[in-house]
Amino acid sequence: MTERTIIRYATTSLLNKTTAARILIELGDILARQERADLALTGGMDAADIYTLMGTSDLAADLDWKRVHLWWSDERFVSPDDPERNAKQARDAWFGRLVDDGELPADHVHEMPADIRTPEQIATANEADDAQALAQAARTYQDEIIRGIGPNGHMDLAVFGVGPDGHYASLFPDRPEVLINDETKLVAGIDHSPKLPPLRVTMTTPFIRRTPKVWLFTSTREKAEAVKEALGGVDNPHVPSSFARGTEQTLWLLDEDAAGLLG
């Protein structure tokens, strides 16, 4: 297991600015070594700020975005135009301009499936209906991953936020999805999520752990206990982010508030 490296920043602003620059620099390094870069994105308030900063950074200007593929580690299973969707937030904050300007090919943006059922179908759906829709969404995205990078492929870089409960992606405490260890199951559906909305799709830990570099970033004092618990052990189902690691690097990027209980 790779050792976890912790970097503490004095403020949330500095954390987000540095993380934005770090992602862009890493993409440049990946493209210097190989033909394409596959980046798994996340959602959340910190992520939206980081994506905005990436969109305005001078470091982005010289990147060959035609060789970059964007993926999502998790997504809210809601309608395609729902503002809650992680992909929509990232598109609005950042990469939509790259697509509109022809710098990033539209088919290099691999959004997770949305819930395309009608409002009436959603309102009358039972648990079995929801489970079937989620299973289909997970299969669809897994098939897209395999078409893109092969059955044994991996992301080059995956970035994650961390919730106050210690979740990452849509892997929540004490949920069965946290304990998935089937290497062939790359994507899973989540029902009854403890964080709204209740239906979600997520990459699994076995697939995430194929990634050479896994970075987690988080801020604010409300996350401090979760950060302490996650970094206090490994593979703790009560704190899912303790499962996160890369094959080459596992990096925790924190502001001082989030790191406040680490000593």
Secondary structure (3-state) at 225: helix
Strands, sheet with 157-161, edge to edge from the N-terminal-most edge strand: 4-9, 249-255, 213-218, 157-161, 37-41, 68-72
- The confidence score (pLDDT) of residue 255 equals 98
**Three-state DSSP class for residue 113:** coil
Domain ranges, ordered by start, for the chain: 4-255
74-92: string of b/e by CB count within 10 Å (b at 16+)? Answer: bbbbbeeeeeebbbbbbbe
What integer pLDDT is reported at residue 263 of this predicted model?
77
Confirm if 180 and 188 have CB atoms less than 8 A apart. Answer: yes
Residue recorded with tokens 């990096």: 251
Q: Return the pLDDT at 240.
A: 98
- What size, in residues, is the chain? 263
- Two structure tokens written together for 131: 């489970």
Mean pLDDT of residues grouped by 10 in the chain (263 residues)?
93 98 98 98 92 96 96 97 95 96 98 97 96 98 98 97 97 97 97 95 98 98 98 97 98 98 91
The predicted pLDDT at position 117 comes to 96
Q: How far apart are CA 186 and CA 194, in angstroms?
A: 22
| Angle, helix 45-56 to helix 12-33, in steps of 10 degrees | 60
The confidence score (pLDDT) of residue 44 equals: 87
Residue 194 corresponds to which tokens in the numbers above? Answer: 């403890």
CATH-assigned architecture of domain 4-255: 3-Layer(aba) Sandwich (3.40)
What local confidence, expressed as pLDDT, does residue 2 receive? 83
- The pLDDT value given to residue 259: 98
